[in-house]
Structure 1
Amino acid sequence: MESIELFTGAGGLALGTHVAGFHHRGLYEWDADACETLRRNASIEALPGIRAWRVHQADVRLNSYAIFGQGQLDLVAGGAPCQPFSLGGKHQAQDDSRNMIPEFVRAVRELRPRAFIMENVKGLTRQSFRNYFEYIRLQLTYPTIKKKRDEDWLSHLHRLEAVKTRGRRTELEYNVVSELLNAADYGVPQVRQRVFIVGFRADTELEWHFPEPTHSLDALVWEQHITGEYWKRHGVRPPPDSPARLGVKLSDLENRDEPFPTKPWRTVRDAILGLPEPRTDRESSDFSNHRLNLGARAYPGHTGSPLDLPAKTLKAGVHGVPGGENMMVLPDGKVRYFTVREAARLQTFPDSWRFEGAWSEAMRQLGNAVPVELAAVVARSVAAKLRARNGH
């Protein structure tokens, strides 16, 4: 199946769709270091089948998609820049020049793929952005009903609403669904909430829903505080603290007879298993990007991630400088920065994936990335539906 990817960054979503069976005919990204990361990994074939990736360092606002033709691609995917909607940003949303969601809509309109996957930050679903979120959904539902030159977005929203309520078919329509997903619920060792918007072209007549969670906090608490299997697996003594701070009551779990239908949330300790202790003087000979950076400190609101829970959401940070979310709390209570390789594992990138640029730049790429495994879970489900429609 054929696809293109917009706003590719370090390649999290692109890797997820790749392992799901999509063949990327083009990857578009404007950041030079991120493009270098993509090119380097393609050149060494860090994952089978990616040597043919074509990386375009470009401003998508200048893109022409004519070379791909209309209706020839199975998928358009991308995580449009999220700063306009991020809780850590300036919250300018539709008035922010970095808002690239209209460019994603244009790609769908011009390419007419059988399906699309768009990812963005949780902040997009906030109450203050509710109308704009509906505007995004309706634009993707009716991508050929374009915003007029002097029309403001609210007027365009009202026109789209009128089309929807009229109920008549337009030239091009997509059946669009959206959901807020927590990466930890799908095996990513990080609490990272992201909104996914998925659409299937109406003429495919496909029914689809988001995949069910495969992991849970309850199952982790069960293994840590009821059976103790977690501590046995890691060969460490269980700590004396209670899970009450997690909002889970042991009394709700102690009398459980049936096994959990989900696996335990994966933790920081799970994620970094097998990595050597990082050093400041040199990188590990067996793992790329695994060098310790000094200077981590905790302060109010930035206290680091405990070892035995999923990590807090990795952040790109202001001007590329990571905050406390990019630290781990050691058993003695001290904190240190995650190495780039450790952060990559928290984002479920394979160990073969190398990150180009200085430490802060590599961490910025990771903080902006879609967790590979979360992307893969969604993409595999989409791919399965498309294959079934093709009779494969």
Structure 2
Amino acid sequence: MPERPIQQHSLFDTSIESEGADGPIVPSRIRSTSPFHQPRDLTEAQREKFRRMSRESREARRSALAGEGPAPLHEINVPKFHPLDLMPKRDGKGLSALSLFSGGGGLDLGVERAGFSHTASFEIMSEAGDTLRKARSDWAVFSGETDGDVRRANFKQWRGEVDLLHGGPPCQPFSNAGRQKGHLDERDMWPQFVRAVKEIRPAAFIGENVPALASPKFSEYVSTSIMAPLSGSYHIQKIILQASDFGVPQVRRRVFFIGFRTKKMANGWKAPQSTHYWGDASITEGERCMGLREALGLPDIGVDDLSPTIRSSLTGPRHTTSILNSVAAQRKFESLQIWPNGVAADRASARAFVAKNGHFRLSVPDIALIQGFPEDWPFVGATYMALGQIGNAVPPPLAYAVASSVLEVLSK
């Protein structure tokens, strides 16, 4: 991506000048547009190496799109996977929902399809707010560093007006891919989620995060920062779900904290049951989840598998258009003959920009599909920003399953 003037995010800037083993650490010149971005401490020589790689990549992409590169090897794919088929619209019987940390709208879309009417969405990234407004022009969306910052919001205005509060506070303080600083990380927003629950007093809430939050490492944090402040008013249950169990062609686990205001409602709640399976021929119940190649409509090569977990391009040490999150993921994509680096903005561009190894290059619409978004969900922003919104999102079909289980209780 092109270099831009220094303009680090004012809320979560972690770039500092200090001394490193190979010279002074210098801040990145790339403008950070995400509160989740955590730049790496690099020397000028190290940064120049990344700049050179970026320049070479831009030139290769420019040549390809100008028709000067190698001839395309793949046809534009026509996906077989249609996420909305997994989320038939339900009758919410007038129940309403309010969204926090809405991002690109994974939870919001799943909750909407489950039948809840939209009250408001809060999201600090302006591009993600634009995505929500473009997708649903009638939604009330509060976005940007002022309107979208939940720390500035007075949630009492919705007391008694919202049946379900839902949101996924930033996962970076807890993710295995991050520094796992927990409550010491200034991006920890669970206290704000708890505050919103207390001020709104919804009949139920859904809080989502990475499964690492449910690990022993953060057991004390969960106990003191989530369960203790709310257990006096809510009956809370915790579940970990796998996206492929609900038809999403990706390995992606998430933890959900589901709270009900009355014991009767909590006792009546049943955790979502798997609707799909992958890789176990002995399973006879449910439908088979598509593999990645089948979902994208790619030719059969005799090998298929679930996609590795899609990485958000906004949460690493530098903005990127790669979705790789590990060496194991790289091997998996190689076995599927899919190129996960340099994701293109659209399928035509992906076809024109031939990958070095000749594998199929992914596009933003492909990544959205792998995450369970429908084809017409309009992610706003540069390619890395769109990928960041997708990678940070809850797969909508997974959100739909959880919201539907809550609807079953609240609609009685």
- Alignment pair present for 1:193 and 2:253: yes
- Number of residue pairs the alignment of both structures matches: 283
Report what 2:307 is aligned to: 311
Partners of 2:398 and 2:252 lie apart in 1 by 10
Structure 1: unaligned runs, 5 residues or longer: 44-51, 143-169, 223-252, 254-258, 277-305
- Alignment pair present for 1:41 and 2:102: no
- Alignment pair present for 1:183 and 2:243: yes
Partners of 1:267 and 1:17 lie apart in 2 by 25
SS of corresponding position for 1:4: strand
Corresponding residue to 1:11 among 105, 111, 119: 105
Deviation at 1:216, TM superposition (A): 2.1
What do residues 6-53 of structure 1 show as CA deviations (whole Å, max 9, x unaligned)? 00000000000000011111100010111111111123xxxxxxxx21
Partners of 1:307 and 1:8 lie apart in 2 by 36
Report what 1:149 is aligned to: none
What do residues 223-263 of structure 1 show as CA deviations (whole Å, max 9, x unaligned)? xxxxxxxxxxxxxxxxxxxxxxxxxxxxxx5xxxxx71132
Deviation at 1:356, TM superposition (A): 0.9
Kept in 2: contact 1:12–1:375 (CA 8 A): yes
Deviation at 1:323, TM superposition (A): 4.1
Partners of 1:113 and 1:6 lie apart in 2 by 13
With the length of structure 2 as denominator, give the TM-score of the two structures.
0.65
Deviation at 1:204, TM superposition (A): 5.3
Partners of 2:214 and 2:361 lie apart in 1 by 30
Kept in 2: contact 1:349–1:372 (CA 8 A): yes
Deviation at 1:136, TM superposition (A): 3.8
Report what 2:319 is aligned to: 320
Partners of 2:388 and 2:156 lie apart in 1 by 32
What do residues 326-377 of structure 1 show as CA deviations (whole Å, max 9, x unaligned)? 8744765844542110111111111111111111111111110000000001
Kept in 2: contact 1:140–1:174 (CA 8 A): no
Q: CA separation of 1:378/1:205 partners in 2, compared to 1, >3 Å: closer, same or farther?
A: closer
Deviation at 1:72, TM superposition (A): 2.6
Q: CA separation of 1:205/1:13 partners in 2, compared to 1, >3 Å: closer, same or farther?
A: closer
What do residues 131-178 of structure 1 show as CA deviations (whole Å, max 9, x unaligned)? 112224423533xxxxxxxxxxxxxxxxxxxxxxxxxxx5xx111000
What do residues 68-111 of structure 1 show as CA deviations (whole Å, max 9, x unaligned)? 1x233100000000000011111101111000000000000000
Corresponding residue to 2:182 among 79, 87, 93: 93
What do residues 172-202 of structure 1 show as CA deviations (whole Å, max 9, x unaligned)? x111000111111111111101100001102
Report what 1:158 is aligned to: none
The residue type equivalent to 1:196 in the other structure is F
- Alignment pair present for 1:360 and 2:356: no
Report what 1:82 is aligned to: 171
Deviation at 1:266, TM superposition (A): 2.3
Aligned alpha-carbon RMSD (Å): 2.2
Structure 2: unaligned runs, 5 residues or longer: 1-94, 339-356
Corresponding residue to 2:217 among 121, 128, 148: 128
The residue type equivalent to 1:379 in the other structure is A
Q: CA separation of 1:265/1:205 partners in 2, compared to 1, >3 Å: closer, same or farther?
A: closer
Q: How does 1:1-392 map to 2 (within 5 A)?
A: 1-43=95-137, 52-57=138-143, 58-68=148-158, 70-139=159-228, 141-142=230-231, 170=232, 173-202=233-262, 205-206=265-266, 207-219=268-280, 222=281, 253=282, 260-273=284-297, 308-317=304-313, 318=316, 319-321=318-320, 322-325=322-325, 328-329=333-334, 334=357, 335-388=359-412
Kept in 1: contact 2:304–2:336 (CA 8 A): no
Deviation at 1:315, TM superposition (A): 0.6
State percent identity of aligned pairs.
Answer: 37
SS of corresponding position for 2:411: helix
Deviation at 1:324, TM superposition (A): 2.4
Q: CA separation of 1:117/1:53 partners in 2, compared to 1, >3 Å: closer, same or farther?
A: same
Partners of 1:76 and 1:64 lie apart in 2 by 14
SS of corresponding position for 1:3: strand
